[in-house]
Structure 1
Amino acid sequence: MAIFLSILWNNIIPLAVMIAIGITLHRVFSLDIKTLSKLNFYLFSPAIIFKLLYTTEVSLQSALHVLLFFVVFMLLLYTSVEIAIRVRGIEKSRRGAMRNSVLFYNSANYGIPLNELVFASNPFTLSIQVLIMMLQALLPNTYGIYSVNAHRISGKQILKTIAKQPVIYAIPLGFLMRGFGVPIPHALQVPLDYAANAFIGVALITLGVQLGSMKISLRSLMLGDVLLSCSLRLLGGPLLASAVVWMLGIDGLMAKALIVSSSVPTSLSSVLLAVEFDNEQEFASQAVLVSTLLSILTVTFVIYVMG
């Protein structure tokens, strides 16, 4: 019960408050969700990724283990989603959004606080979570863009769109500047901090604005597809992660950190992608909202099993 209340109070309620603020602001002022989406994609998200990579100390051995785990894990998770899509017969226009809702998980504003809570701010497990967050940030800006656009624009146009995403350049830049010890001038450090600190708040408000623009009812709730997405994300994620760490012989704190990181709900990136490229916005928003609520139970159970 103590773990349950800690997760509820430290993780879920703060997220819910920010989402509620977004819903309220939209109902009062009719905010432009496209503008909020662009701020997240082109400014706040690259800023927080660059800052964390530049400031977090990560060993090469840990990075290689995490990378190997992530590749195997994502391949297995993708296979599971594809099987589910084929069995359920999901329409083509929604398939990309369904994949994104399972493959992209909230490794930043949910995963990092959760990691600090579970592992008592252990710097080693935090570095693992930062690596997962970096890889998760790269996916929506590459594969995610492809998945929501593949059925309607050419491959050349998709590549051009991907090439315009700042996150792709922020990741290697952060690694290189840290590796070579390149200092950031104070005149740039201050605005970088401002932009990075704004990411979580603006992303949650964006989700609130999207939810506030929806007329949520039992009829509008895509219950079958949303529950399928949540099952694959919240139950399939940690089960597959456990299998992968066992197959790769990863144990100890690293194994536990990787399994816990895989148990978090659907990422806000799936909503931002849906809004930015006008693809299944309601489904994406419902998947994030329902998975976040259900994660109160599922994440608590995963932590309990992890001991």
Structure 2
Amino acid sequence: MVIFLSILWNNIIPLSVMIAIGITLHRVFSLDIKTLSKLNFYLFSPAIIFKLLYTTEVTLKSAMSVLLFFVVFMGLMYVCVEGVIRLRGMQGGRRGAMRNSVLFYNSANYGIPLNELVFASNPFTLSVQVLIMMLQALLPNTYGIYSVNAHRISGKEIVRTILKQPVIYVIPLGFLMRGFHVPIPHALNVPLDYAANAFIGTALVTLGVQLGSMTVSFRSFMLKDVLLSCGLRLLVGPILAFGVVKLIQLDGLMAQALIVSSCVPTSLSSVLLAVEFDNEREFASQAVLTSTLLSIVTVTLVIYVLKI
């Protein structure tokens, strides 16, 4: 019960408040969601990723272990979601939206606070979570863009779109500057902090704006797809993660941190992609909202099973 209340108070309620603010602001002022989406994609998201990579201590051994886990885990998750897509007979943009809702999980503004709560701000487990966040940030800006556009534009156009994403340049830049101990001038560091600190709030307000612009729908096919997405993300995800850490023989804090990182709800990136490229906005928004609410129970269960 203590863990349940901690997750509710420290994660779900703050997220819900910001989403509610976004809904209210949109109802009053009719905010431009495209502008909010571009701010997230091209400014705030790259800023927070660079800041975390530059400031977090990461060892080569940890990085290789996390990368191996991530590749195997995401491969298995892809097989699972692809099986569901084929069984459901999904077509067009729904296929990409379904993949994104399962494969992209909230490793930043949910995963990092959760990691700090569960592991009492342990620097090692935080470094593991930051690596997962980096990899999760890279996926939506590469594969995610392909996924939502593959059914309607050419491969060359998709590549051009991906090459315009700042995140794919920010990640190697952050590693190189940290590795060679390159200092950031104060005149650049201050605005970087401002932009990084704005990411979570703006992303949650963007989700609220999208939800506020939706017509509430109880269509059975939409509800089934959303619940399938949540089941894969919140239940199948941590089960597969447990199997992968056993398969590649990870244990201790590393294994626990990776399993906890895998049980968080659907990422806001799936909504930002849906808005930016006008693909299944309603489904993406409902998947994020529903999985975030259901995660109160499922995340607590995972932590309890791990006996952390």
The TM-score normalised by the length of structure 2 is: 0.99
Which AA in structure 2 matches 1:49? I
Deviations 1:114-140 (A, max 9, x none): 000000000000000000000000000
In structure 2, what is the equivalent of residue 224 of structure 1? 224
In structure 2, what is the equivalent of residue 264 of structure 1? 264
In structure 2, what is the equivalent of residue 185 of structure 1? 185
In structure 1, what is the equivalent of residue 211 of structure 2? 211
Task: Please state whether the residue corresponding to 1:222 is helix, strand or coil.
Answer: helix
Deviations 1:182-221 (A, max 9, x none): 0000000000000000000000000000000001132488
In structure 1, what is the equivalent of residue 36 of structure 2? 36
What percentage of residue pairs aligned between the two structures are identical?
Answer: 84
Task: Please state whether the residue corresponding to 2:117 is helix, strand or coil.
Answer: helix
In structure 1, what is the equivalent of residue 70 of structure 2? 70
In structure 2, what is the equivalent of residue 164 of structure 1? 164
Which AA in structure 2 matches 1:158? I
In structure 1, what is the equivalent of residue 136 of structure 2? 136
Q: Are the equivalent residues in 2 in contact too, given 1:104–1:136 (CA < 8 A)?
A: yes
Q: Which runs of 4+ in 1 moved over 4 A?
A: none
Which AA in structure 2 matches 1:136? Q
Q: Mapping of 1:282-301 within 5 angstroms?
A: 282-301=282-301
- Please identify, of 57-66 and 90-99, the stretch whose mean Cα deviation from structure 2 is larger: 90-99
Deviations 1:258-297 (A, max 9, x none): 0000000000000000000000000000000000000000
Tell me, in whole angstroms, the C-alpha distance in 2 between the residues paired with 1:80 and 1:218: 26
Unmatched 5+ stretches in structure 1: none
- Are residues 1:240 and 2:271 paired? no
Deviations 1:2-50 (A, max 9, x none): 1000000000000000000000000000000000000000000000000
- Please identify, of 215-224 and 23-32, the stretch whose mean Cα deviation from structure 2 is larger: 215-224
Tell me, in whole angstroms, the C-alpha distance in 2 between the residues paired with 1:65 and 1:107: 17
Task: Please state whether the residue corresponding to 1:264 is helix, strand or coil.
Answer: coil
In structure 1, what is the equivalent of residue 55 of structure 2? 55
Structure 1 residue 89: Cα displacement:
1.1
Tell me, in whole angstroms, the C-alpha distance in 1 between the residues paired with 2:93 and 2:180: 45
- Are residues 1:4 and 2:4 paired? yes
Task: Please state whether the residue corresponding to 1:183 is helix, strand or coil.
Answer: coil
In structure 1, what is the equivalent of residue 249 of structure 2? 249
- Are residues 1:305 and 2:305 paired? yes
Task: Please state whether the residue corresponding to 1:136 is helix, strand or coil.
Answer: helix
Which AA in structure 2 matches 1:190? V
Which AA in structure 1 matches 2:167? V
Task: Please state whether the residue corresponding to 1:121 is helix, strand or coil.
Answer: coil
Deviations 1:89-129 (A, max 9, x none): 11232000000000000000000000000000000000000
Q: Are the equivalent residues in 2 in contact too, given 1:221–1:286 (CA < 8 A)?
A: no
Number of residue pairs aligned between Structure 1 and Structure 2: 307
Root-mean-square deviation (CA, aligned residues, Å) is 0.8
In structure 2, what is the equivalent of residue 26 of structure 1? 26
Deviations 1:149-175 (A, max 9, x none): 000000000000000000000000000
The TM-score normalised by the length of structure 1 is: 0.99
Which AA in structure 1 matches 2:111? G
Tell me, in whole angstroms, the C-alpha distance in 1 between the residues paired with 2:42 and 2:270: 15
Deviations 1:57-115 (A, max 9, x none): 00000000000000000000000000111111112320000000000000000000000
Q: Are the equivalent residues in 2 in contact too, given 1:24–1:212 (CA < 8 A)?
A: yes
Which AA in structure 2 matches 1:140? P
Task: Please state whether the residue corresponding to 1:109 is helix, strand or coil.
Answer: coil
Unmatched 5+ stretches in structure 2: none
Q: Are the equivalent residues in 2 in contact too, given 1:48–1:199 (CA < 8 A)?
A: yes
